[in-house]
């Protein structure tokens, strides 16, 4: 039980550090990037948004185009988090495809609580879709922060310990 409260305290400290605020700013920039790219693609492909007159192609595009904004936001968020949010942790590590794919996996995993909480709020609490979406984003943000902090940008101590050979008596 003592270990549980120690872990709870560590979680609280992680949330209240400046690093969490940087993560929120980075995520907000990602939301803006995602929305702008999505909107630009809607304009480029001239997607008809009127449900009554929408073609099958328009409907398909409405489901495909958000992927491009999401991918751009994930790439942007990875780079900003690598160099700014978690810069202290990554100062001896270059940005890499390996870390990016870890970050991308955490981002995909974070869609689960986001969508679950969004669905819960929308269906069982009868609130507007916009408010449900904000609640879902918040749920996903916490999962994403902890995954980024403890999975993606956490590096084991890299100092190697020199092992001295033992002599005939088994002593150093």
CA angle at 26 for the pair 81 and 91, rounded to the nearest 5°:
20
pLDDT truncated to tens, each residue of the chain (172 aa)? 888 878 877 776 666 568 888 899 999 999 999 989 999 999 999 999 888 898 999 889 888 888 898 999 999 999 999 999 999 899 999 999 999 999 999 999 999 998 899 889 888 887 877 788 888 888 989 999 999 999 999 987 654 444 556 666 666 5
Q: What residue has token string 């209240």?
A: 16
Q: Number of folded domains in the chain?
A: 1
CA–chain centroid gap for 40, Å, is: 23
Q: Is residue 157 in some structural domain? A: no
Tokens of 170: 């088994």
pLDDT on residue 162: 47
Q: How far apart are CA 112 and CA 114, in angstroms?
A: 5
- End-to-end CA separation in angstroms for the chain: 40
Q: Is residue 24 in some structural domain? A: yes
Q: How far apart are CA 50 and CA 58, in angstroms?
A: 10
Classify burial at 26, counting beta carbons within 10 Å of its beta carbon; exposed 0-12, middle 13-18, buried 19 or more. Answer: buried
pLDDT on residue 167: 64
Cα torsion through 114, 84, 95, 14, rounded to 10: -50
CA–chain centroid gap for 84, Å, is: 14
Query: What are φ and ψ of residue 170, in 5° steps?
Result: 85, 15
pLDDT on residue 161: 44
Q: Is residue 69 in some structural domain? A: yes
Q: Domain range spanning residue 46? A: 2-152
């Amino acid at each position: 039980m003592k270990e549980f409260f120690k872990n709870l305290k560590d979680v609280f400290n992680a949330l209240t550090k400046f690093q969490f605020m940087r993560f929120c700013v980075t995520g907000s920039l990602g939301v803006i990037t995602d929305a702008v790219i999505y909107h630009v693609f809607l304009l480029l492909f001239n997607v008809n948004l009127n449900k009554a007159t929408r073609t099958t192609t328009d409907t398909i595009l409405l489901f495909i185009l958000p992927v491009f904004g999401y991918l751009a936001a994930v790439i942007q968020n990875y780079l900003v988090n690598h160099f700014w949010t978690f810069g202290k942790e990554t100062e001896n590590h270059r940005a890499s495809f390996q870390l990016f794919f870890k970050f991308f996996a955490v981002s995909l995993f974070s869609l689960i609580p986001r969508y679950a909480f969004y669905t819960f709020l929308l269906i069982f609490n009868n609130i507007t879709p916009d408010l449900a979406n904000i609640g879902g984003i918040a749920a996903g943000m916490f999962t994403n922060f902890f995954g980024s902090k403890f999975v993606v940008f956490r590096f084991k101590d890299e100092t190697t310990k020199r092992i001295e050979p033992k002599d005939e008596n088994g002593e150093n």
